[in-house]
């Protein structure tokens, strides 16, 4: 953690009790994580059918207990398989920036970054911090307690990650629209610290939180989170939310063509929008990507 950001976190968190257990951990924020097949190409382009129609998480301001609306939008998609957890950040930004190229460098969070913290057994103690920036540089730390026992040698073996910038990274002259960060994490990387089933079973939960740091100025970080931590501090495993692993997949629907409808309309419907805001191609009789959650 960069010194200036660490001081911000530590000062804001001073005097707050950090002792947490499975009995006292609060997971008021939950989200259904849908099962998918391992047919995702991790390339930063969310064009596979599995991504379409997933429930969307949105991150909110976390600089203070009052929270609020951030100046930028951040969406997160999640899915799971028997081998991996899939996560995609859809980030809006007019200037996509972070120049860090060294893995596990503290400089990562002194610039714009997206983050994910995972507590495999939900006990508020052993947890993992993972980060990615616009250059696809990553950071992965292990902690034995909040901000204690940091281990930089740990790495999630088999992790896949890719970034697609919509604009030009680290170029303040042009106007960007944002980026997509696409990640898959093998369950095997966390199995040692899980007291439950890993891979999980339908109905199981995983304590975690999604974050973003957006620097409004070089010295003014906007701290954004999914589950509010109640302070300007991301290292609050007792405040993590929970993914609930659903048995209900997202099912793609391809409507049957209606020649009369298309003839009277004078053509085919416009291509649909993908979850990342890009166009999906229509195919013959207006076949477009349309999705719903299976009952």
The stretches of 82-139 forming alpha helices (DSSP H) are none
0.85 exceeded by the pTM?
A: no
Residue 159 within a domain: yes
Considering only residues 289 and 274, tell me which one the structure prediction assigns the higher pLDDT: 274
Residue 166 within a domain: yes
Residue 14 within a domain: no
Q: Residues 48, 36: contact at Cβ < 8 Å?
A: no
User: Do the strands 30-35 and 241-245 form a parallel or antiparallel pair, or are they unpaired?
Assistant: parallel
Structural domain range at position 29? 25-248
Per-residue pLDDT tens over the stretch 240-253: 999 999 999 986 43
Query: What local confidence, expressed as pLDDT, does residue 235 receive?
Result: 97
Residue 99 within a domain: yes
Query: What local confidence, expressed as pLDDT, does residue 28 receive?
Result: 75
Residue 6 within a domain: no
The total domain count for the chain is 1
Residue 145 within a domain: yes
Residue 118: burial class (beta carbons within 10 Å; 0-12, 13-18, 19+):
buried
Per-residue pLDDT tens over the stretch 255-271: 445 555 444 444 434 44
Residue 288 within a domain: no
How does DSSP classify residue 163?
E
Q: Which two tokens stand for residue 239?
A: 């405040």
**CATH number for 118:** 2.60.40.1190
Least confidently predicted of 85-99, 153-167, 240-254: 240-254
Residue 224 within a domain: yes
């Amino acid at each position: 953690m960069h010194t200036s950001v660490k001081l911000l976190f530590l000062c804001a968190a001073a005097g707050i009790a950090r002792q947490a257990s499975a009995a006292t951990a609060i997971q008021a924020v939950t989200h259904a994580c849908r099962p998918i097949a391992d047919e995702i190409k991790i390339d930063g382009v969310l064009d596979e059918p599995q991504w379409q129609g997933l429930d969307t998480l949105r991150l909110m301001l976390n600089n203070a207990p009052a929270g609020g609306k951030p100046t930028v939008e951040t969406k997160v998609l999640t899915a799971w398989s028997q081998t991996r957890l899939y996560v995609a950040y859809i980030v809006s930004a007019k200037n996509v920036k972070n120049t860090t190229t060294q893995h596990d460098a503290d400089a990562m969070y002194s610039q714009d970054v997206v983050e994910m913290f995972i507590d495999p057994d939900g006990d508020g103690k052993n947890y993992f911090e993972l980060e990615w920036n616009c250059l696809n540089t990553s950071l992965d730390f292990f902690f034995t307690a909040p901000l204690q026992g940091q281990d930089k040698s740990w790495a999630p073996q088999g992790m896949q990650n890719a970034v697609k910038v919509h604009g030009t990274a680290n170029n303040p002259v042009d106007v960007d629209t944002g980026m997509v960060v696409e990640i898959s994490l093998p369950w095997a990387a966390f199995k040692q610290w899980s007291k439950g089933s890993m891979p999980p079973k339908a109905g199981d939960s995983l304590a975690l939180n999604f974050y973003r740091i957006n620097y409004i100025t070089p010295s003014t970080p906007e701290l954004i989170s999914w589950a509010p931590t109640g302070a300007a501090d991301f290292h609050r495993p007792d405040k993590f939310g929970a993914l609930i692993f659903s048995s209900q997949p997202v099912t793609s629907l391809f409507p049957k063509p209606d020649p009369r409808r298309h003839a009277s309309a004078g053509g085919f419907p416009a291509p649909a929008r993908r979850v990342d805001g890009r166009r999906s191609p229509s195919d013959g009789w207006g076949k477009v990507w349309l999705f719903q959650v299976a009952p």
